[in-house]
Structure 1
Amino acid sequence: MTPLDFLVGQWDWGPQALIALAGLIALVAQRSLRRFRLVGWTCLAALVLLILLRGKSYYAGPVHPTLLAAGAVLIERFTVPRWSTLLRWTAVMVVLGYSAVTLPIGLPILAPPTMVRYLDWLGSEDAVTTNVGNIERLPQDFADMLGWEAQVDAVAQVFHGLDPAEQERVVLMGSNYGEAGAIDFYGPRRGLPGAIAYVGTYWYFGPGDKPGDVMISIGFSYDDMTDFFDTVATAAHVMNHYAVAEQRDLFVYVCHGPRETLQEVWPSLAGEQ
């Protein structure tokens, strides 16, 4: 995210962004708030650091409550007495109105079909744009809450369809930490072993001690698996129309005949995504 995108993204907070901006200026420059100067500079430093590190605009969220409090004090102190009550209540009502309209975007209080219709009515494309620029039906955070148990159910059905000897040797592998994490979280109650993945910090936990002569994979393409195994069979298909693109249409494969053991190939997978 560019610095400009980060700054423009602060307006996603709505009218309270103006109050937060006023609060930042007040904390840094207002004499009446000089005893809180360190707080202001700390908030400013956090924002600058996020910009320099190319952070997402919403990473600034934890800074906003402090700035909103300072901005509210500024409004209270510097409104003309005759208009002060009107201006204060106007500020409150504008913020509350915006918050009411955007509440379903911040909290998953609507069922997916209702949420889709609400977003269509709202016309907010930003709300359904993912961190890689894809436009989905639901906000990414909400879409990423859906479908995980169905994935693990599919893997469990395939696992329990293996003969007992293969169940002892099989390795479960997810193409990303979401799929592997879902197996680790939901899998034990379905009688599944833990999963492996070579993405992110999952790679550091290694492939385990099984060579991978039998593998159940989820989230990979058929071609991905035939690069490493002699035999790849489609065992299940999981679809979720409300999920993000990479989780919407997944296949579960049973793979046999690895060309290398997992322990041999694992070092070369470091840094792969």
Structure 2
Amino acid sequence: MSATHVRAQVASFAAAPVLGVAVAVAAVLTALSGRYGFHRDELYFLVAGDHPAWGYVDQPPLTPLAARLSTAVFGDSPAGLRVVATLACAATVVTVAAVARELGGGRAAQVLAAACTAVSGFVLAVGHLVSTATFDMLAWVVVCWLLLRLLRTGDRRLWLAVGAALGVGMQNKYLVALLALALLAALLATGPRHVLRGWWPLAGAAVALAVALPSLWWQAAHGWPQLTVAGGISADDGAENRVLFVPQQIVFLSPVFVPVWIAGGLRLWRDPALRWARAFVPAYLLLAVVVVVSGGKPYYCLPLLLVLLAAGCVASVSRPRAMWPAVAVTAVISALISLPVLPPGAVGAVNGVNKEQGEQIGWPQLADAVADAWSAVPAADRPRAVVFAQNYGEAGALAHYGPARGVPAPYSAHMSFADWGPPPDSATGPVLLVRQREADGLEQYFTDCRQVGSVDNGHDVGNEEQLAAVVLCAAPNAPWSQLWSWLRHYY
């Protein structure tokens, strides 16, 4: 089949209804964006955005930059911060509809693909919060859409656009390189291989490298700390991630959508008219193997599932009586699990499924507990005193909420906060330490420690900081410049 003939078979893009779905999900996300409060990662991104750099120990610069831009334009609040996440989610919905179009979907299939994406639990979860996964998901589906268009049309000039999308994605999260490698291996194994010939693919790779180079250079200059972080994630959560991989592949989008994306994979693999797109099936399987073996997060595979879902929507559109009720049921369930629709006191009902819900509750209360303890530090001691937080969520909360409560800028040795410290050696104490309840081993680095307070989020939500300890220590047991390398941790 010639490229010209294939191009003629593609339906026009259903712009109005697809954009209507995107606007609807954006409206829901906007309406709920101010509930609960900041997530611990968002508080970290806010501080990182105030320390602009080409990289951080645990991520490239795009997400902190987006956080800084969004709050500068829309206000320093959860609602202002999350505008960029809302826009990224809406763009993801539109792009998946465009993927369905490339795979032969007409108007109805494109709208169905957009709707299934918009109500999927994980898509809503990362669309509500600013996270690296928010922009990573968008980058992956854009790369997939561009590659599908290249494969369908045979226009190898699109390698430049694919490379640009990969480069931008790598400025957000290096994980997108795994997508590129999986797709490359699948194309070599199943074809069409002719799109890999000539200098256009090399030019696309050069564009990707050029765009990503500043961040990669930063990582290389700092000893590739991202690899240390990834190793820590695998060591801490790898076994759990392997056990949960299959269940989470089922629930990420929606259990009722599983037959749709399975049908989509079978369609890509079996349909002679889509032989040019079959590489996406082994690419997903290969990526799944890599994620399981490495102990990575199961959601890493989600964007390729969205491609299979789009392919399945083309086949499922002939059964609207089954599909649209499934979309409605999924919308209700996903909203309860992924969005802040419940009263804060009821979050415990869904926190076991989506713990990120609980991580948006209790940060002002943590700052209140630290402020109460700080007020008890004698005024004569405060010039030498230090507020030290165990992790970046606590430090981010104190950086955001502390000034209004009279709490000085916090220090932490967690992730990139370690690069923004240590305190001066002249800060000989006292040290006001905030730590999670079970992390009492941290006190070995200080002298004469006693707990003077604890954190209560006021809603009995069992998140990571509920009942966190506020501990007053007389002094560090060594100068901060010596202590810092012992305190520094990446996970």
Counterpart position of 2:335: 103
Residue 34 in structure 1 maps to residue 253 in structure 2: no
Q: Secondary structure at the match of 1:213?
A: coil
Secondary structure, counterpart of 2:474 in structure 1: strand
1:226 Cα offset (Å): 5.0
User: Using CA pairs below 8 Å that are at least 6 residues apart, which structure has the higher relative contact order?
Assistant: 2
Q: What residue is the counterpart of 1:180 in the other structure?
A: 395
- Structure 2 distance, partners of 1:69, 1:235, is 55
CA RMSD in angstroms, aligned pairs only:
2.9
Aligned to 1:59: 300
Task: Give the superposition deviation at 1:262.
Answer: 1.9
CA distance in 1 between partners of 2:462 and 2:241 (Å): 27
Aligned residues: 246
What SS is found at the alignment partner of 1:163?
coil
1:249 is paired with a residue whose SS is coil
The question of whether the paired residues in 2 share the 8 Å contact of 1:50 and 1:59 is answered with yes
Residue 321 of structure 2 is matched in structure 1 by 89
- Could you tell me how far apart the structure 1 residues matched to 2:282 and 2:264 are? 12
Q: Is 1:68–2:309 an aligned residue pair? A: yes
| AA of the residue aligned to 1:167 | R
Choose which of 244, 253, 256 in structure 1 pairs with 2:474.
256
The structure 1 residue matched to 2:429, chosen from 213, 216, 220, is 213
1:59-100 residue CA offsets vs partner (Å, 9 max, x unmatched): 333333322211111234xxxxxxx4xx23212212322332
- Mapped to 2, the partners of 1:185 and 1:92 lie a distance apart of 43
Cα distance in structure 2, aligned partners of 1:62 and 1:189: 41
Cα deviation code 1:147-167 (max 9, x no counterpart): 111111221232244333422
Deviation at 1:142, TM superposition (A): 1.0
Q: Under a length normalisation based on structure 1, what TM-score does the superposition of the two structures give? A: 0.76
Q: Distance in 2 between matches of 1:226 and 1:115?
A: 32
Q: Contact between 1:144 and 1:243, CA under 8 Å: does it hold in 2?
A: no
Residues 20 and 272 from structure 1, CA distance in 2 versus in 1: closer, same or farther, beyond 3 angstroms?
closer
Secondary structure of 1:141's aligned partner: coil
Amino acid at match of 1:248: Q
- Tell which deviates more after alignment, 62-71 or 29-38: 29-38
Deviation at 1:19, TM superposition (A): 0.9
The aligned counterpart of 2:461 is 242
Change (3 A) 1:173 1:91: same
* Alpha-carbon distance in 2 for matches of 1:249, 1:4: 29
Higher strand share: 1
Deviating above 6 A after TM superposition, structure 1's stretches of 4 or more consecutive aligned residues are none
Q: Deviations over 1:117-137 (max 9, x none)?
A: xx4xxxxxxx5437xxxxxxx
* Residue 269 of structure 1, CA deviation: 2.9
Amino acid in the other structure paired with 2:386: V
Classify the secondary structure of the residue corresponding to 1:15: helix
- Is contact 2:241-2:297 (8 Å) kept? no
Do the aligned partners of 1:149 and 1:182 also contact (CA within 8 Å) in 2? Answer: yes
CA 1:30–1:2: 2 relative to 1, 3 Å: farther
Shift of 1:272: 7.3
Greater Cα shift, 65-74 or 3-12? 3-12
Cα distance in 2 between the residues matched to 1:47 and 1:229? 45
Distance 1:272 1:115 in 2: 29
Q: Does 1:9 align with 2:225?
A: no
Paired letter, 2:470 = V
Query: What TM-score, normalized to structure 2?
Result: 0.45
Higher helix share: 2
CA distance in 1, matches of 2:289, 2:484: 38
Match of 2:446 in 1: 229
- C-alpha separation between the residues in 2 aligned to 1:20 and 1:223? 47
In structure 2, do the counterparts of structure 1 residues 171 and 141 end up closer, same or farther at CA, with 3 Å as the change threshold?
same
- Runs of at least 5 residues in structure 1 that lack an aligned partner in the other structure: 77-83, 120-126, 131-138
Cα 1:24–1:147 change in 2 (3 A) is same
- Give the Cα separation in 1 of the matches to 2:282 and 2:331: 28
In structure 2, how many angstroms separate the alpha carbons of the residues matched to 1:115 and 1:214?
37
The 5-angstrom pairing of residues 46-195 of structure 1 reads: 46-76=287-317, 84=318, 87-116=319-348, 119=349, 128-129=351-352, 139-195=354-410
Cα distance in 2 for residues equivalent to 1:19 and 1:168: 63
CA distance 1:113–1:220, change in 2 (3 Å) = closer
**Matched residues, percent identical?**
25
State the match for 1:122 in structure 2: none
2:33 corresponds to: none
SS at match of 2:327: helix
Q: Which amino acid in structure 2 is aligned with residue 258 of structure 1?
A: P
In structure 2, do the counterparts of structure 1 residues 29 and 171 end up closer, same or farther at CA, with 3 Å as the change threshold? farther
Tell me if the contact between 2:351 and 2:358 (Cα under 8 Å) persists in the aligned partners.
no
